[in-house]
Chain A
Amino acid sequence: DAKTTQPNSMESNEEEPVHLPCNHSTISGTDYIHWYRQLPSQGPEYVIHGLTSNVNNRMASLAIAEDRKSSTLILHRATLRDAAVYYCILSRGSGNTGKLIFGQGTTLQVKP
């Protein structure tokens, strides 16, 4: 199974951009890249996902390397509410497993 590698922790100042990296060097051609985050004492929540092209939504942007072996979640202006654990996840675009592979997650601290 393809796995992801993320830094254990990162810090950011409030209202500054944050770039959260994820390595997935063994990704297969049909794996989608998903990002979820987990706020304290809550279940994970969806942030964004993509396959090959960069993606934007109201929460964040996802930049995917051309070789797809890495990706970066971009929070354009971090707020205190963005302090959470961010998970980079690969899901299969073919096959019949439906299995999600969670990375270890990056704990993001946002300083006022």
Chain B
Amino acid sequence: EAQVTQNPRYLITVTGKKLTVTCSQNMNHEYMSWYRQDPGLGLRQIYYSMNVEVTDKGDVPEGYKVSRKEKRNFPLILESPSPNQTSLYFCASSLRPPRRGTSTDTQYFGPGTRLTVL
């Protein structure tokens, strides 16, 4: 089954303790992206990746890191989490970057990771 998976689905941690949220897709997609969702703010893009070893900042990259060593995986790293990073996080992927404007840029979203930083 074609899907985007995220782990963990739920995580409670403390300020400053490094964590990684994994994202994996099995559709051989080039483009992957991370979003956070907060009440009243909708979804905001954190980082995106056009292909392996190609990443760039979205709208709210501060406090986050990403890597794209393999096509299928795009982990989100919080080196020193803070309470303002408490949020619902979504990973997404598409066959091609959205700029192409064809059906190949339809984005598939993961189920979400709810993170709480105390």
Contact = CB atoms under 8 A, between A and B. Distances in A.
Interface residues of B, number: 28
Given A44-B43, A104-B42, A97 B101 contact: no
Interface residues of A, number: 25
A92 B4 CA distance: 23
**A contact face: mostly helix, strand, loop, or mixed:** loop
A70 to B, nearest CB: 19
Interface stretch (A9-17, A45-53, A75-83): A45-53
Contact of A105 (B42, B45, B90, B99): B42
Nearest to A46: B106
A100 B100 CA distance: 12
A15 to B, nearest CB: 28
B114 to A, nearest CB: 10
Interface string A70-94: 0000000000000000010001111
Contacts, number: 67
A105 to B, nearest CB: 5
Contacts of B35: 102
Contacts of A104: 42
A112 interface: no
Nearest to B100: A93
B43 A91 contact: no
B42 A97 contact: no
A34 B98 CA distance: 10
A32 B100 CA distance: 9
Nearest to B49: A98
A98 B112 contact: no
